[in-house]
Structure 1
């Protein structure tokens, strides 16, 4: 058997996402048969002491303190971007133009304009056999992948409702310190882009339909926070008397949405049966919530779909199960629970025996598997930068709606 060709990876950033990605690059080839062999060649970060410590801890072969040096290196085939959103466009475009494949964390950028430039660069690179993917890792949760399969198989019938929540509580303490995630110039937005983007992508991916319109409300509960504290953005506490800086992003986001429709039988023929041009049937309606102030909720990424034949419900805090309701088979029974740990379920056959669940880190491993498999086959991976651009457009529409007071009808 021929040894797989190396895929030499250079990663930019080494904190929370860097740790998750490092684990994934090391783990994927040990549980999945890949056509390319990932190698942790180099990691880049501005703090030399910090990046060297990360390289030693996670097993990277070398370090750089400037991401540009990483892109210049001939021994790097793929650049993995795990930095704040304000840096994504510059790094990704430079890497693609240098002939490097790119994996970029979500959201793709901090603005639609940046995301459009990145997508154009990705399209041009793909024509040369250089590929890119955005890291919406929840797509690789086996239960959500099974949900998509069920929707595609018509198990839910015509979709009517999409109900999405992403609930966390790590910022509920008003004395939790400032982080880059609370600085709009670095993060682009708050709970909306940080966690709401996952819900938007998952909803569009599973339904196979894009969001076409929104009506939104954003709220910042804590306007100032202690500065000089935890910069990773996941925990810690500042003193009540510490110097405080302004929070420039949303703490919570709420919006209703309309998804694109599908043609009915008449539309498929080009008319509505009376000779007039047929119109697509209305798409499902959706409601989305993202907050980091839901006390008691640690990582409740939830999605529920209701159709004419049945429903699906998922909660990442119980990530190895999927709730399913089939109106034909069990009209009086309500939801039943599927343990998504069988070999026939997406991804799970490469891991543990039936009933032995997976964890948060496995989504990143599956992300590496899908990316490496696509590159090895010379195929474009998914989600593409174009898919991520669509999410960016929804984020921008939500912010625009929230800024427009005319959307709010007083009672």
Structure 2
């Protein structure tokens, strides 16, 4: 790595590419970082659009061939913000070329692809090459605080997890087709797009893994107008997924992911009940964590509203005074900080590709259960799935 810099190539420049770009720009201005990221190259399929995006998002140059870019000696890290059908090919090639990799979630479209990526990441780690999956909601300060409280035993043994991710941007049948509605490109619909986040969060907060599922999925609108107005396209993914699960510590869990919940814009919600207390979080009120101490006297017991904007809360000391809330984009900045710190320290960052592979196995189990009359389906471990 040349000097104290980290030269980054970004592949993809739509919604996630813009979010990641802001994080690369912002992180070194607020955090004391061991390496300085440089926005070296933005890669897109169309040369003109990629050049425009590079200028707008702060990249030094643009390119159209990611294969050439990952082979460049002046690139240290490849940030993958493309549809899921391309993740495996880009990530494996980048790791083989000795580049650190940040890859958006879900890790891949299939367990087989995710296993290939995780194996490549483990091999690269032995050569000092690091990789991370982009589950950014882990890095919301209130969520980090929740993780800390669970790890400290403040809620005791986990009995229940209730997790929802509710959006409504597809509720109108006139909303046009996009790649997110095509199974070949997206892998799944609400299940992988937003359901993967709540699966990861449930496992991250509890420190436990899901062992099996019973699931239902539904596609409410099976045809949508094409963006160019030439006709309609077939929707080949789920619009909503609901499933029951069990944690390996014995607790019960329920999950719901939908893009048809009218009035809910980005309601990632999770509640955890233990034998000593409870926690509740809703991203639509993202600076707040609700905590109940189950050992309080009954007469005065109740959820307390913790505004997670104090310097003692995760990441917050680098930002604003207490009470001045953070926003959606800050999770991406915190992701950059943690990744660069791990690279500089020579440690593997979290969530790893193996962590993301575990999420992929849960998604596969959900799809299998839903296709077989909701039968209980075990989440396979690595040896069993091969």
Task: State the TM-score, normalized to the length of structure 1.
Answer: 0.90
Matches within 5 A, 1:52-91: 52-91=51-90
CA distance in 1 between counterparts of 2:265 and 2:254 reads: 21
Which secondary structure does the structure 1 equivalent of 2:368 belong to?
Answer: helix
Find the residue that maps to 1:41 and give its secondary structure.
Answer: strand
Q: Which residue of 2 aligns with 1:327?
A: 294
Match of 1:403 in 2: 371
Query: Could you list the runs of 5+ residues in structure 1 that have no partner in the other structure?
Result: 230-237, 262-282
| Correspondence for 2:267 among 292, 300, 323 | 300
SS across alignment from 1:287: strand
Taking the aligned partners of 1:145 and 1:406, their CA distance within structure 2 comes to 33
Q: 1:4-403 to 2 correspondence within 5 Å?
A: 5-228=4-227, 243-261=231-249, 283-329=250-296, 331-332=298-299, 333-403=301-371
Aligned-partner Cα distance in 2 for 1:389–1:9: 24
Note if contact 2:215-2:374 (Cα within 8 Å) is conserved in structure 1: no
Cα deviation, residue 329, structure 1 = 2.4
Deviations 1:176-198 (A, max 9, x none): 00000000000000000000000
Distance 1:103 1:89 in 2: 12
CA deviation string 1:25-77 (max 9, x = no partner):
01001100010000000010001111111000011001110111111211100
For the residue of structure 2 that corresponds to 1:324, the secondary structure is: strand
Q: Distance in 2 between matches of 1:46 and 1:180?
A: 15
- CA shift digits 1:263-309 (9 cap, x unpaired): xxxxxxxxxxxxxxxxxxxx110000000000000000000000111
Q: CA deviation at 1:228?
A: 2.5
**C-alpha separation in 2, matches of 1:291 and 1:86:** 21
Q: Is the 8 A contact 2:213 2:244 kept in 1?
A: yes
Distance (Å, rounded) in 2 between the aligned partners of 1:18 and 1:406: 36
Q: 1:407 to 1:59 in 2, by over 3 A?
A: same
Q: Distance in 2 between matches of 1:120 and 1:406?
A: 31
Deviation at 1:372, TM superposition (A): 0.2
CA distance in 2, matches of 1:341, 1:330: 28
2-structure distance, mates of 1:345, 1:8: 30
Tell me the distance in 1 between the aligned counterparts of 2:111 and 2:76.
Answer: 27
How many pairs are equivalent? 374
For 1:145, what is the secondary structure of its paired residue? helix
Cα displacement (A) at 1:331:
3.2
TM-superposed deviation, 1:406? 6.2
Secondary structure of the residue aligned to 2:262 is: coil
Give the aligned CA root-mean-square deviation in angstroms.
Answer: 1.2
1:147-190 CA distance string (max 9 Å, x none): 00000000001110000000000000001000000000000000
Q: Distance in 1 between matches of 2:259 and 2:374?
A: 27
- 1:203 is paired with a residue whose SS is helix
Q: Is the radius of gyration larger for structure 1 or structure 2?
A: 1
Whole-angstrom CA distance in 1 between matches of 2:203 and 2:3: 35
SS at 2:329's partner residue?
helix
- The alignment partner of 1:380 has SS state of coil
Aligned counterparts of 2:297 and 2:103: Cα–Cα separation in 1? 43
Gaps of 5+ in 2: 377-386
In the TM superposition, what whole-angstrom CA distance separates every residue of 1:109-142 from its partner, at most 9, and x where no partner exists?
Answer: 0000000000010000000000100000000000
Q: Secondary structure at the match of 1:360?
A: coil
Is the 2:155–2:294 contact (alpha carbons within 8 Å) kept by the matching residues of 1?
no
Is the contact made by 1:89 and 1:118 (CA closer than 8 Å) also made in structure 2?
Answer: yes
